[in-house]
């Protein structure tokens, strides 16, 4: 299958850029949100934040976030 025709599976990791687009916040605030989620989830610095972690802490519906990331 050529590269341009590959089907990309749904991601489970969320990044600061995604938080910026979902919430409309600045990059710095998005990074702070991710840091707060890491602390709330008991994760270390550099650990990945999943969509489930993000939704649990922010209260945003998981289906909305998944649809947004497609």
Mean pLDDT computed over 1-23:
78
Asked if 19 and 51 touch (Cβ cutoff 8 Å), the reply is no
Question: Any residues with CB less than 8 A from the CB of 61 and at least 6 apart, and which?
Answer: 55
- pLDDT tens digits along 13-67: 999 999 999 999 999 999 999 999 999 999 999 999 999 999 999 999 999 998 8
- The structural domains of the chain, with segments of one domain joined by +, span 10-69
With beta carbons less than 8 A apart as the criterion, state whether 36 and 57 touch: yes
pLDDT of residue 7: 59
How does residue 70 score in pLDDT terms, banded at 50, 70 and 90?
confident
């Amino acid at each position: 299958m050529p590269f341009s025709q590959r089907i990309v599976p749904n991601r489970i990791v969320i990044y600061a850029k995604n938080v910026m687009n979902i919430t409309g916040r600045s990059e710095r605030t998005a990074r702070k949100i991710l840091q707060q989620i890491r602390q709330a989830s008991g994760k270390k610095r550099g650990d990945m934040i999943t969509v489930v972690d993000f939704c649990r802490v922010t209260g945003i519906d998981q289906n909305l976030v998944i649809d947004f990331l497609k």
